[in-house]
Amino acid sequence: MNFLELKEAILFKIRTNKIVRILVYPFINYRRISDKQKYKLTLDAMYIRTLKNTKKGKRCFIVGNGPSLTVEDLNKLKEEDTFAFNRIYYIFDKTEWRPTYYMCVDTGVLGMNLPEIEKLNLPNIILSNIARYSVKTQTENIHYLYDYSKFKINRWGFDPPYISEDVSEHFCFCFTVTFDAIQLAIYMGYSEIYLLGVDHNYSVKVNAKGRITRDGSIKDYFDGLEKTAITAMNYEATTAAFKEAKKYCDSHGIVIRNATRGGKLEVFTRTDFDTLF
């Protein structure tokens, strides 16, 4: 475990400590509501508003970091609009493909990888607002979103997820950046959304009660990307978020399909990735 992983592991224990969470509960909830009101007046909110309905009638691909993701498939996406996340840059040396929109909102990922992330030569880097004061170099390609959820004493508890119809005010947070990307894609007006490399299968899972299960036989990421020391996925919350995304898209005439090769995500209708080209 390197220094950044050790630091984030310690912070993770502090964040999940029940006594700490009880003590900070009223303050954090007040601050989140206050920050949400302030955010919509920022330049970053203005930037997001410039994206609204700019992609009507077009399609996009939301690229996860699952073990099914391959260089060959990414090369097919060179001319497509794509969203990708977190440590996807570990595959950049193998492909000319680059994401149109790069996003990272996870506190742990940002805590351990921010120096690398802020140096990425990508046109649109969208980070959680929590990273704003940690990024050393403010450049025109880096923007910030506001993820909102009520603070809970139970770290893994969650309210029913929803699609934020105005993400220039806030995104609905539900434990996965993929859900943020879906909300942004909807806001931008894409009529077809395809998921690739979203295997939704994790070696370490945590449920809404904080119970952790481990299965060492499961591979978490694509070849070349190793699991971090503190990775744990709130499986119930993310599944609920995906179900809400499907419900919203179905009721608004938006095609959302899972083009992942294999994996465990069965919320969305499956489609053969190769038939899309």
* 128-162 pLDDT per residue, tens: 998 988 888 778 999 999 999 887 777 778 899 99
Residue ranges of alpha helices (H) inside 18-106 are 18-39, 43-49, 71-75
CB atoms within 10 A of CB 22: 10
Which segments of the chain have a pLDDT < 70? 1-5, 7-8, 11, 14, 229-230
Q: Which domains does the chain have, with CATH numbers?
A: 3-276 (3.90.1480)
Question: What is the per-residue DSSP string for 152-165?
Answer: -SSTT--PPP---S
| Nearest alpha carbon to residue 208 among 154, 267, 264, 265 | 154
Residue 199 to residue 264: CA distance in whole angstroms: 6
Q: How do residues 95-119 score in pLDDT, each as one tens digit? A: 999 999 999 999 889 988 999 999 9
pLDDT score, position 50: 97
* pTM (two decimals): 0.91
